[in-house]
């Protein structure tokens, strides 16, 4: 195995970055042309915990802490719960520890990360921070920040709409897709429930029906004029408890009500991408965090609707509504926070283990004075049952060798989270393809390099070859991939 003082030969002497020493020699984060620094930050969550205090104003936070607990702002109540959770999980002060993302982490650090993602958008962040501090407006601002977090992760840029203009109604903000260039108007609504997020019976419902405000919220959102397509997020603010078979009881009810609304109440020509969510972290601060949601194409009859389609048709529809798919993917990743400042893996930055092998780098494996070998890594893979890395190298004499190196449990966790890029290059990772659509996507991704002539040659004996010759390049590729799926996929019986 590599010795602890080994340095990658391809980096040594170029940037003088040793593998040992300070894990974070520069604990700084730049934003708004400003620099954040603290010698106490060892992980990115450390930074977030300080960042939210500064953005909200320490004087405001201390004033809230001076109040009896029941009268404190919900954010400051979360802060108290987070401190208690840290005391229970951090055994040695100053030493990073692993902890489950529970409700309070999702609430407090999730809010901090949402604010940080808006750090470049000073005006929007400032307005939302002001609303966060007002008890009557806290819940709305909190959910808008969740939505902003999701959209930014999905590749959107946000711009503020002037809701202070009393002459007309406005959406919360506009979202511009950096991938497709499309613009959307965004609305975010959360059901107010007495006893949660600062709401009382004065301004929150006691109705246990999770979809009781679904249509009123939808109507409120649609009542605001929109020059572009609409993204409407509605949170049901209900318990996370699933039914016995693991199904969430509110999903089918909400979908059925939206379908009914579309048939009977929706004005002609009105359409919107509706995302119904449930982010119930605040209901169980000490419980493992969970969330759920589903998209619905209101007035869009070919978006996320049940039915039987050719896989090529399903793929075309996904590309047609790709922005909504990116939003869905980002929504499922809301509970994931960066662990380190520079994007390094936790096993390297926090545990202090040797950095992972990078394909293309040259290393000294073992002690050179005791038969060690210097070699350039040409390939690498992981033997998960054996908790080891298999490393293919070419030594200085041009001979190929295969070496092994043990992995810690944290390194194995990091590998499982980043299988395709763990060794510094995007590599195909074997895995079970779950359905024909996944197989079609795999085929389209791995055959997009084929020229039109190559595709026509492969399809030369197809009975519809005349029609194929008149197809576009993309349609020709999809036809080829679909034929591959039909020939390969064997449905289980």
**What are 454-482's pLDDT values in tens digits?**
989 888 888 888 999 999 999 999 999 89
pLDDT confidence of residue 34:
57
Region of 366 (left: φ > 0; alpha: ψ -120 to 50; beta: rest) is left
Residue 63 banded pLDDT, cuts 50, 70, 90: very high
* Mean pLDDT for the stretch of residues 309-328: 94
pLDDT confidence of residue 352:
63
- Average pLDDT score over the chain: 84
pLDDT confidence of residue 372:
79
Whether pLDDT at 357 is above 50? yes
Note every long-range contact of 470-478, with CB atoms under 8 Å and residues 24 or more positions apart, other chains counting: 476/452, 477/444, 477/447, 477/448, 477/450, 478/312, 478/315, 478/316, 478/444
pLDDT tens digits for range 290-303? 999 999 999 999 99
Same domain, 139 and 233: yes
Tokens at 201, concatenated: 């019976």
pLDDT confidence of residue 400:
81
Same domain, 99 and 52: yes
* Mean pLDDT for the stretch of residues 171-194: 94
Same domain, 346 and 326: no
pLDDT confidence of residue 422:
83
- Other Cβ atoms within 10 Å of 175 Cβ, number: 26
Residue 362 or 395, more confident: 362
Statement: the pTM of the whole predicted model exceeds 0.85: no
- What is the DSSP secondary-structure string of 79-94? HHHHHHHHHHH-SSTT
pLDDT confidence of residue 17:
23
* Mean pLDDT for the stretch of residues 425-438: 69
Residue 98 banded pLDDT, cuts 50, 70, 90: confident
Whether pLDDT at 120 is above 90? no
**Cα–Cα distances in angstroms (integers) from residue 98 to residues 45, 92, 160, 289, 380, in the given order:** 11, 12, 37, 15, 27
pLDDT confidence of residue 35:
58
Domain that holds residue 90: 28-104
Q: Cα angle at 144 between 140 and 145, to 5 degrees?
A: 120
Q: Of the given ranges (9-18, 251-260, 352-361, 371-380), which has the lowest mean pLDDT? A: 9-18
Domain count, the chain: 4
Same domain, 395 and 443: no
pLDDT confidence of residue 211:
97
pLDDT confidence of residue 39:
65
pLDDT confidence of residue 490:
65
pLDDT confidence of residue 431:
56
**Nearest C-alpha neighbor of 242 from the set 283, 209, 286, 291:** 291
Looking at the DSSP bridge assignments, the partners of residue 29 are 36
Q: Cα angle at 466 between 460 and 470, to 5 degrees?
A: 105
pLDDT confidence of residue 37:
59
Domain boundary among 104, 125, 160: 104
Residue 15 banded pLDDT, cuts 50, 70, 90: very low
**Cα–Cα distances in angstroms (integers) from residue 83 to residues 61, 88, 127, 175, in the given order:** 14, 9, 27, 35
Name, in order, each residue with C-beta under 8 angstroms of 468's C-beta and a sequence gap of 6 or more. 456, 459, 462, 476, 479
pLDDT tens digits for range 392-407? 888 888 888 888 899 9
Please report, rounded to a whole number, the percentage of residues in the chain having pLDDT higher than 70: 84
Residue 487 banded pLDDT, cuts 50, 70, 90: confident
Same domain, 389 and 349: yes
- Asked if residue 201 belongs to a domain, the reply is yes
Same domain, 274 and 373: no
- Asked if residue 164 belongs to a domain, the reply is yes
Same domain, 365 and 263: no
Whether pLDDT at 149 is above 60? yes
Question: Alpha-carbon distance 139 to 145, whole Å?
Answer: 10
pLDDT confidence of residue 343:
62
pLDDT confidence of residue 4:
39
Same domain, 57 and 8: no
Domain boundary among 429, 452, 478: 429
Same domain, 452 and 377: no
Whether pLDDT at 27 is above 50? no
Residue 14 banded pLDDT, cuts 50, 70, 90: very low
Same domain, 416 and 449: no
Q: Of the given ranges (109-123, 219-233, 273-287, 361-375), which has the lowest mean pLDDT? A: 361-375
- Asked if residue 116 belongs to a domain, the reply is no
Residue 61 or 490, more confident: 61
* Mean pLDDT for the stretch of residues 74-99: 88
* Mean pLDDT for the stretch of residues 300-315: 89
Whether pLDDT at 334 is above 50? yes
- Asked if residue 125 belongs to a domain, the reply is no
- Asked if residue 234 belongs to a domain, the reply is yes
Residue 167 banded pLDDT, cuts 50, 70, 90: low
Domain boundary among 311, 332, 353: 332
Same domain, 218 and 300: yes
Same domain, 361 and 424: yes
Name, in order, each residue with C-beta under 8 angstroms of 84's C-beta and a sequence gap of 6 or more. none
Q: What is the dihedral of CA 263, 264, 269, 274, to 10 degrees?
A: -70
- Asked if residue 493 belongs to a domain, the reply is no
* Mean pLDDT for the stretch of residues 192-216: 95
- Asked if residue 126 belongs to a domain, the reply is no
pLDDT confidence of residue 163:
54
């Amino acid at each position: 195995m590599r010795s602890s003082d080994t340095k990658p030969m391809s980096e040594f002497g170029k940037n003088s970055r040793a593998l040992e020493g300070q894990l974070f020699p520069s604990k700084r984060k730049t934003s708004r042309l400003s620099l954040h620094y603290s010698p106490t930050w060892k992980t990115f969550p450390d930074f977030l915990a300080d960042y939210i205090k500064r953005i909200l104003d320490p004087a405001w936070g201390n004033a809230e802490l001076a109040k009896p607990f029941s009268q404190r702002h919900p954010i400051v109540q979360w802060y108290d719960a987070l401190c208690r959770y840290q005391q229970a999980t951090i055994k040695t002060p100053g030493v990073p520890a692993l902890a489950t993302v529970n409700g309070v982490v999702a609430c407090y650090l999730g809010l901090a990360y949402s604010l940080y993602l808006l750090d470049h958008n000073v005006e929007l962040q400032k307005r939302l921070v002001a609303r966060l501090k007002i008890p009557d407006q806290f819940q709305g601002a909190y959910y808008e920040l969740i939505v902003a977090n999701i959209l930014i992760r999905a590749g959107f840029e946000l711009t503020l709409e002037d809701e202070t203009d009393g002459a007309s109604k406005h959406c919360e903000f506009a979202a511009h897709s950096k991938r497709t260039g499309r613009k959307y108007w965004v609305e975010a609504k959360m059901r107010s429930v007495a006893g949660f997020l600062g709401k009382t019976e004065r301004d929150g419902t006691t109705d246990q029906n999770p979809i009781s405000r679904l249509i009123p919220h939808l109507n409120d959102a649609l009542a605001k004029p929109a020059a572009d397509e609409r993204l409407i997020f509605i949170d049901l603010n209900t318990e996370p408890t699933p039914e016995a078979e693991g199904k969430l009881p509110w999903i089918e009810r909400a979908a059925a009500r939206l379908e009914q609304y579309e048939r009977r109440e929706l004005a002609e020509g009105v359409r919107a991408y509706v995302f119904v969510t449930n982010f119930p972290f605040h209901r169980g601060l000490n419980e493992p965090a969970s969330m759920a949601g589903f998209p619905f194409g209101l007035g869009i009859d070919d978006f996320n609707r049940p039915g039987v389609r050719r896989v090529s048709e399903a793929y075309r529809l996904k590309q047609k509504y790709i922005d909504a798919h990116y939003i869905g993917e980002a929504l499922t990743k809301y509970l994931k926070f960066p662990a380190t400042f520079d994007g390094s893996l936790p096993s390297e930055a926090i545990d202090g283990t040797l950095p992972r092998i990078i394909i293309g780098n040259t290393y000294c494996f073992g002690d050179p004075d005791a038969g060690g070998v210097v070699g350039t890594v040409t390939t690498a893979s992981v033997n998960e049952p054996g908790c080891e890395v298999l490393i293919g190298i070419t030594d200085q004499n041009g001979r190929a060798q295969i070496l092994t190196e043990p992995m810690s449990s944290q390194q194995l966790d990091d590998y499982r989270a980043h299988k395709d890029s763990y060794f510094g290059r995007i590599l195909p990772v074997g895995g079970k393809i779950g359905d024909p659509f996944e197989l079609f996507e795999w085929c389209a991704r791995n055959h997009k390099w084929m020229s039109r002539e190559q595709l026509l040659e492969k399809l030369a004996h197809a009975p519809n070859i005349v029609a194929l010759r008149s197809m576009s390049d993309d349609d020709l590729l999809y036809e080829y991939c679909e034929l591959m799926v039909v020939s390969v996929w064997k449905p289980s019986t």
